Amino acid sequence: MSVGVLGAGAFGTALAIVLAGAGRPVTLWAREGADEMQAARENARRLPGPRFPEGLRATGDLSEAAAAGTLLLAVPMQRLRPLAERHAAALADRPLVACCKGVELGTTLGPAGVLAEVVPEAPRAVLTGPSFAADIAAGLPTALTLACAEPDLGARLQAQLSTPTLRLYRTEDVTGAELGGALKNVIAIACGAAMGAGLGASARAALMTRGFAEMNRMAQALGAAPATLAGLSGFGDLVLTCTSEGSRNYRFGMGLAESRAQGTEAAETVEGAATARAAAERARRLGVEMPITEAVVAVLDGRMALNEAMETLLARPLREE
C-alpha cells in the first residue's frame, strides 16, 4: 500500500524515510523546496543528514501525494485545520493519519476532532508517542501508538506503518492518545524551565509526576482510559520530552529560564506553547485543576516571572497524593 505524507517538516520527512526504507512507496509533499529535496535526496532545511531511500519521492504537487492509499498529515497542530480545509476534496475518501501533537486554540479540539469537522467522511487515526525525528530517520528503534476508533482500520494501519525499527502499538482510545501527546509538551516546557533555572533534577521529577497527574485528570474528564496515559503516548512521551535537550519544548522552557524565549514561539515548532493556552481554557471549562499548565500559561503571557510561578506551585495547599 502506498503512503502519502503531507508536510515535509522533520517528522513527516523522518516517517517518509523509514517507511520508504522498509519498501513502501512513499510520496512526500512539501509546500516549498520539493524539487531541491528530490534532486539532493535529502531535506536539508528540516532534517539535514538522512538520505532519501529509492522508494521516496518528494513533490510540490499535493494531488500526487494525496493519490496514495493512506495519508499521513505531519504539519504542526495549529496548521492542521487550514491545510485540511484548503485540500478537503483531495483528502475526503482515504484514511487520514494525523501525526501532530497538540490542542487547537479556539476550539480546544485535538487532531482527530479537527479532521472530523473538516473532512467528516474520511476515516481517521492518530500517530503519536515518544520519538525524535532524527532517531526514526536514522533507523534507531522506536515504539509509537496508533490510535483509531475503528478496530479493523486500526489493525490495517498498524501493519502498514510498522517497520523493522518503527514498532506501532494499537489503541481505540483516540482521546487518551492525543491528549497524552499534547499535554506532555506543556510539562516539558515546565521541566525545561526548572532545569534552566537551576532548580535541579528532584524538582524536575516532581513536575513530571505532578504533571502526569494533571494530564490524567484532564484526559479522564474527557473519557480517556488511564491505561492509555500510562502508555507510550502519555508516560512514554513525557519521559522522553522532559529529559532530553533534543526536545524543542524542553529547550524552549530552558530559554524561558534564561529570559530569551518570550516572543520566540514562532521561530521553531514548539507545540506546547499554544497547547498550554488551549488546554488551560478547556480545563477551566471542565472544572479540572491543572496548576502546572496554568503556571506555564502565566509565564508565557508575561503575567508571572518564572520564580513567582514556581513559588505559586510550592505554596499550594498540602494534600494527599
Active-site amino acid positions:
184
Q: Grid coordinates representing 264?
A: 520566540
Is position 7 annotated in a ligand binding site?
A: yes
φ, ψ of residue 208 in degrees (nearest 5): -65, -45
Is position 85 annotated in a ligand binding site?
A: no
Q: Measured from the CB atom, is 27 or 162 closer to ligand 13P? A: 162
Question: Which of ligand NDP, ligand 13P, none does residue 249 bind to, with CB < 5 to 8 Å depending on kind?
Answer: ligand 13P
Name the H helices within the chain: 10-21, 34-40, 62-66, 77-86, 88-91, 111-118, 133-137, 151-161, 174-196, 201-221, 226-229, 237-243, 248-257, 271-286, 291-300, 306-314
Q: Measured from the CB atom, is 28 or 144 closer to ligand 13P? A: 144
CA 51 – CA 43 distance, rounded (Å): 8
Is position 124 annotated in a ligand binding site?
A: no
Binding piece for ligand NDP, criterion CB under 6 A, among 69-77, 151-159, 163-171, 273-281:
69-77
State how beta strands 142-147 and 124-128 pair: antiparallel
- Secondary structure of residue 120 in the 3-state scheme: coil
φ, ψ of residue 114 in degrees (nearest 5): -65, -45
Nearest residue to ligand NDP, scored by beta-carbon proximity: 9
Angle between helices 174-196 and 111-118 (to 10 degrees): 130
φ, ψ of residue 58 in degrees (nearest 5): -95, 140
Question: Which of ligand 13P, ligand NDP, none does residue 7 bind to, with CB < 5 to 8 Å depending on kind?
Answer: ligand NDP
Instruction: Please tell me whether residue 132 binds ligand NDP under the rule CB under 6 A.
Output: yes
State how beta strands 26-29 and 3-6 pair: parallel
φ, ψ of residue 268 in degrees (nearest 5): -145, 175
Q: How far is the CB of 190 from ligand NDP (least distance, A)?
A: 17
Instruction: Please tell me whether residue 303 binds ligand NDP under the rule CB under 6 A.
Output: no
Instruction: Please tell me whether residue 10 binds ligand NDP under the rule CB under 6 A.
Output: yes
Q: Which of residues 22-51 bind ligand NDP (CB under 6 A)?
A: 31-32, 46
Binding piece for ligand 13P, criterion CB under 6 A, among 157-165, 169-177, 211-219, 246-254:
246-254
Instruction: Please tell me whether residue 101 binds ligand 13P under the rule CB under 6 A.
Output: yes
Identified binder of ligand NDP from the candidate list 11, 52, 212, 250, rule CB under 6 A: 11
Binding residues for substrate: 101, 248-249
User: Applying CB under 6 A, which residues contact ligand NDP?
Assistant: 7-12, 31-32, 46, 74-77, 79, 82-83, 99-102, 131-133, 268-269, 271
